[in-house]
Homo-oligomer: A and B are copies of this chain.
Amino acid sequence: MGADGTGDVRVGDLDETALLARVVPLMPTEALLGPGDDAALVAAPDGRVVATTDVLVEFRDFRRDWSSGADVGWKAVAQNVADVAAMGGRCTGLLIGLSVPTDLEVAWVEDFARGVAAACACFGAVVVGGDLSAASEVVVSVTALGDLQGRPPVLRSGARPGDVVAVAGVLGRSGAGLEVLQRNGSAAPREEELVTVHRRPQPPVAAGPAAALAGATALMDVSDGLLRDAGRIAAASAVTVELTTTGALGEWSRALGPERGLEHVLTGGEDHALLGCFPPEAVLPTPFAPVGRVGVAGPHPVLVDGRPWTGSTGWDHFAR
């Protein structure tokens, strides 16, 4: 292979400076002060900054034979900007910690950076800092910073009985796409689309600030499945989230098939849709679709068509 790295150059063939010189220019890095000094400096116009962090670990959160470097970079950005949107904010900067095996191809790291860049372009984000180190498996840790434009953050704890429950985005497709990959066979065209959603989720980031402006009383990113995440709003707000499958939830279920569709919609993770609660008189901003109502606290945090759901309830990082 050539010294220009077009061949199978490995991470361990380069020193850190040389690797950074190849990767950093691939990403958008605008800020008051971007990468290169001890720290970055990011604008925080209203005197506060939203901050959230998520870690993606190879074999647990992704597999390199199922997702390209660009897919992993995209997803790491997407799930963090979704968390900023879920406070009602817009992302102002990302810090990306990337740990990789020394025998990983440099091309994978470059591909990762291109996926980060593509997601940044899609979601209106920039990379302001990061760290690169060696590890025995790929670990991606992203911190996203955000701006609330002077508004209060929209928490999980503000839902009130009578509120409308609504979702921006489509649920169940990422989990269904993961199932296609796990089946390890060829995928029908419709299934390819689900796999793409799994690899490159598209959180509706503009819906976060829009929900805040529309008076949302509670808002969160659906990353661990609707039932589990709705349960978190129910717990934080001391209410019951009463979902109905007659509207959008049913429509999404039917699109995923009669056998597992509803289970995917209710328990599939990583779609990074936004789950919001709105006062009954609020006009739901695009693309929020109503999926239920908030009720008073009861024996079950979440009901589906009036009954507790008895199946599995989402992903746990440690459960055996």
Contacts and interface: CB of A to CB of B under 8 A. Distances in A.
Interface stretch (A141-149, A242-250, A298-306): A141-149
A139 interface: yes
B318 A57 contact: no
A17 B320 CA distance: 14
Contacts of A14: 318
A143 B15 contact: no
A156 B37 contact: yes
Query: Most B CB atoms within 10 A — which of A11, A97, A146, A153?
Result: A97
Interface string A11-26: 1111110010000000
Given A53-B130, A141-B53, A145-B51, A84 B153 contact: no
B97 A141 contact: yes
Interface in A126-167: 128-137, 139, 141, 143-146, 148, 153, 155-157
Contact of A318 (B12, B40, B146, B320): B12
Interface in A283-320: 316-320
Contact of A128 (B19, B51, B129): B51
A267 to B, nearest CB: 15
Contacts of A45: 47
B40 A316 contact: no
A317 B38 contact: no
B99 A55 contact: yes
A136 B130 CA distance: 22
Contacts of A102: 318, 320
A220 interface: yes
A33 interface: yes
Contact of A53 (B33, B129, B219): B129
Given A44-B44, A135-B60, A38 B83 contact: yes
Query: Most B CB atoms within 10 A — which of A19, A52, A54, A87?
Result: A52
A39 B51 contact: yes
A57 B95 contact: no
B155 A317 contact: no
23 contacts: A33-B153, A37-B153, A38-B83, A38-B219, A39-B51, A41-B48, A45-B47, A46-B47, A53-B95, A53-B130, A53-B141, A55-B98, A55-B133, A57-B133, A57-B139, A59-B136, A60-B133, A97-B97, A97-B141, A133-B317, A141-B141, A143-B143, A145-B145
Interface of A: 11-16, 19, 32-33, 36-55, 57, 59-61, 83-84, 86-87, 89, 93, 95-99, 102, 128-137, 139, 141, 143-146, 148, 153, 155-157, 219-221, 236, 316-320
Give 5 closest A-B pairs by Cβ, nearest first.
Answer: A44-B44, A39-B52, A141-B141, A38-B86, A143-B143
